[in-house]
Amino acid sequence: MGMTMTQKILAAHAGLPFVKAGDLIEANLDLVLGNDITTPVAIREMGRFNDDKVFDGEKIALVMDHFTPNKDIKSAENCKCVRDFAAAHEITNYYDVGKMGIEHALLPELGLTVAGDCIIGADSHTCTYGALGAFSTGVGSTDMAAGMATGKAWFKVPSAIKFNLKGQLKKWVSGKDVILHIIGMIGVDGALYQSMEFAGEGVKSLSMDDRLTIANMAIEAGGKNGIFPVDEKTIEYMKEHSKREYKVFEADEDAEYTAVYDIDLSELESTVAFPHLPENTKTLSEIKDKVVIHQSVIGSCTNGRIQDLRQAAEILKGRKIHKDVRCIVIPGTQAIYLQAIEEGLVADFIKAGAIVSTPTCGPCLGGHMGVLAAGERAISTTNRNFVGRMGHTDSEVYLASPAVAAASAVTGYICGPDELGID
């Protein structure tokens, strides 16, 4: 029996010739990630160790993104705690206001994650980096503390589900629709503690931004990680963004999977996840009654990349946001923000009546920059729509692609670009 792509990466980092699902291993880490919410807890845990030194100041990344720029005294204190820790331990990859971005958009952009890496992060969407062919997964703050101190982590080797992709997406259908379709198909626990491995000739038609979006939401299906094969697009992306060496791992032909799904990308439609679970999906054609919205959020670690902003701007250019809708656009990083300015996308957003925020997680977790009141509905390109996720427990969040979020902002109800006469 052969190994899956994820199992090969874990075996290599554990110094073992072979691993199988269920094995307990200790693996060396290439990167440990934390943010302004999770890192202070990890720092307090490290304070209980006999030796609280970090294993490598260059292999830790601390990104202040959830409540920054600081929204209140507590968030300011959290950032100061992390800032002081980073200085004391000579952590080179510390990112704060002016240099920060939403962590899972920022790290690939900076070249801190490459194919073949083994990465943990005290944030559940750390699985994003599987788009580059890395094993990356979210952990708790205690595991982050141990990782920062030792450079190692314990794992139970996951089994895997294989998703064979073929064909290519239609206009206005994107990676967000792919992952929402999959979650709707298998459920929020359909890949529980399993690796979601994507393969097939359809992969090559997906942009890197699409792949990052899909891998980002593997956790919404319960996945331990999501991972894509390394192809020409991956290599081109890494060469553009990173100077680090990468290593390509490929699944064996006789690798064992608990399930195999065949997905024709050309058959997928724009998909929306209704409250209050990402699995509660409907295609636009399945929505029979108008769902009025009060807010549209375009951004987050899932959909705040330049492809997302271009898609939204193409729809909003020359149009106006509905008078009863607040449209908030949040670029994923400072570099993406600057690129959006230089391409004229920000001007298109502002002329349409949207606001453009500094990079931040903001409204995704009900933090700031778009918290909902009771009875309000938001359509959002974020990744979770649990009860109270974006504010009041009596508010509702509908997850969608940038195209659907932008079109809905114009009409005032959930729809696709075709409602605006856009082909």
β-bridge partners, 63: 35, 95
Predicted confidence at residue 287, as pLDDT, reads 95
- Mark which of 264, 289, 319 sits at the end of a domain: 264
How many structural domains does the chain have? 2
The token pair at 25 is 């291993």
Domain that holds residue 109: 5-264
Q: Do 138 and 70 reside in the same domain of the chain? A: yes
Residue 408, sorted as left (phi over 0), alpha (psi -120 to 50) or beta, turns out to be alpha
User: Is 329 exposed, middle or buried (CB count within 10 Å of its CB: 0-12, 13-18, 19+)?
Assistant: buried
Q: Do 244 and 335 reside in the same domain of the chain? A: no
Return the closest-CA partner of residue 127 out of 187, 196, 178.
196
- Mark which of 205, 236, 264 sits at the end of a domain: 264
163 alpha carbon, distance to own chain's centre: 19
Element (H, E) at 27: strand 24-28
Q: Do 284 and 366 reside in the same domain of the chain? A: yes
Q: Do 143 and 35 reside in the same domain of the chain? A: yes
102 alpha carbon, distance to own chain's centre: 9
Strand order in the sheet with 225-227: 225-227, 194-199, 159-166, 259-264
CATH of the domain at 279: 3.30.499.10
Residues of the chain short of pLDDT 70, as ranges, are none
Q: Do 314 and 249 reside in the same domain of the chain? A: no
- Mark which of 229, 264, 299 sits at the end of a domain: 264
Return the closest-CA partner of residue 332 out of 340, 342, 322, 344.
340
Q: Do 247 and 105 reside in the same domain of the chain? A: yes
Q: Do 219 and 275 reside in the same domain of the chain? A: no
Predicted confidence at residue 384, as pLDDT, reads 94
Q: Do 255 and 294 reside in the same domain of the chain? A: no
Q: Do 274 and 199 reside in the same domain of the chain? A: no
Q: Do 232 and 281 reside in the same domain of the chain? A: no
Q: Do 241 and 276 reside in the same domain of the chain? A: no
Residues 179, 265 contacting (CB under 8 angstroms): no
Is pTM beyond 0.85 here?
A: yes
Q: Do 292 and 358 reside in the same domain of the chain? A: yes
